[in-house]
Amino acid sequence: MKLFDIGINLTNKQFDLDREAVIHQAMLSGVERMVITGTDIDESITANQLCKGFDGLYSTAGIHPHDASQAPAEFVEDIKNLYLNNQNVVAIGECGLDFNRNYSPQDIQLSVFQQQLILASELDAPIFSHQRDAHNAFIQVLDNVAIKPNRLVVHCFTGSEAELNEYIDRGYYIGITGWICDERRGKSVLDIVPLIPNDRLLIETDSPFLIPRDLKPKPKSRRNLPEYLPHILQTIAEVKEVDTEALASQVWHNSCEFFKLSKESCL
């Protein structure tokens, strides 16, 4: 099976000692494509630079809601230049709203998110989005910009059935992580995974965060790795009651379509 991890935080310091080994092990595990998440301008630049040493790596460019208050005045132009001038930069984001922690004031989050959506709309670029405890405001901003259905993924979905249904009705993609492998917090999301149409499903590890808690044997480290993506896929296939290899093929196709990759890149 060929797998596509749409979200890894490879710039995180937890990978400083073995970043290259992590990438190689993921590819040996069948994870042949990975997208490195950019969370601010500096991290977006670093993420893009990491891609240049490996086949199969891509990155995003954007401002995470946690970092919205620190966004430079020219951040829109910076993101635009990164997206237009680097073939490996395949989406705008991680961008969105996080009213759970409010590391940035909500009004600033809203402004920075909307500016990135406007840019993505102008560029017809995919949007790698984040939403936590801010669903209504998230939807309102999306409506203000009129985002195309197939241009947005709700990354690391952890919401309610009602939220999921609204995203599906709008035609957005849904990113599912190892959160569903956590018996303490993820059961409610695992139960509604069958509601996600196979052609709207994307998968991700969000490593080094959200390690699947039900891995056996249990890893010595709590660091999540992209090589664990097959376990997440298997869990989804079981709850959906579908063939794992067929689902892997569908999700690979979805990922290539969403990020607008060439046919040559997805062979």
| Residue stretches of the annotated binding site for a divalent metal cation | 94, 130, 155, 206
Count the helix, strand and coil residues of the chain and give each as a percent rounded to the nearest 5.
50, 15, 35
Q: Which two tokens stand for residue 167?
A: 């995203």
The vertex-59 CA angle with 57 and 60, nearest 5°, equals 165
Q: Which CA distances in Å does 176 have to 79, 159, 189?
A: 26, 11, 9
Helix or strand (DSSP H, E) at 35 = strand 31-36
Cα–Cα distance between 224 and 231 in angstroms, integer? 12
Q: Which residues are annotated as a binding site?
A: 94, 130, 155, 206
Output the six-digit token pair for 257.
Answer: 């379509």
Distance CA 84, CA 212 (A): 35
Burial 61-93 (b: 16+ CB within 10 A, else e): bbbbbbbbeebeeebbebbbebbeebebbbbbb
Q: Compute φ and ψ for 3, nearest 5 degrees.
A: -120, 155
**Rounded CA gap, 212 and 17, in Å?**
22
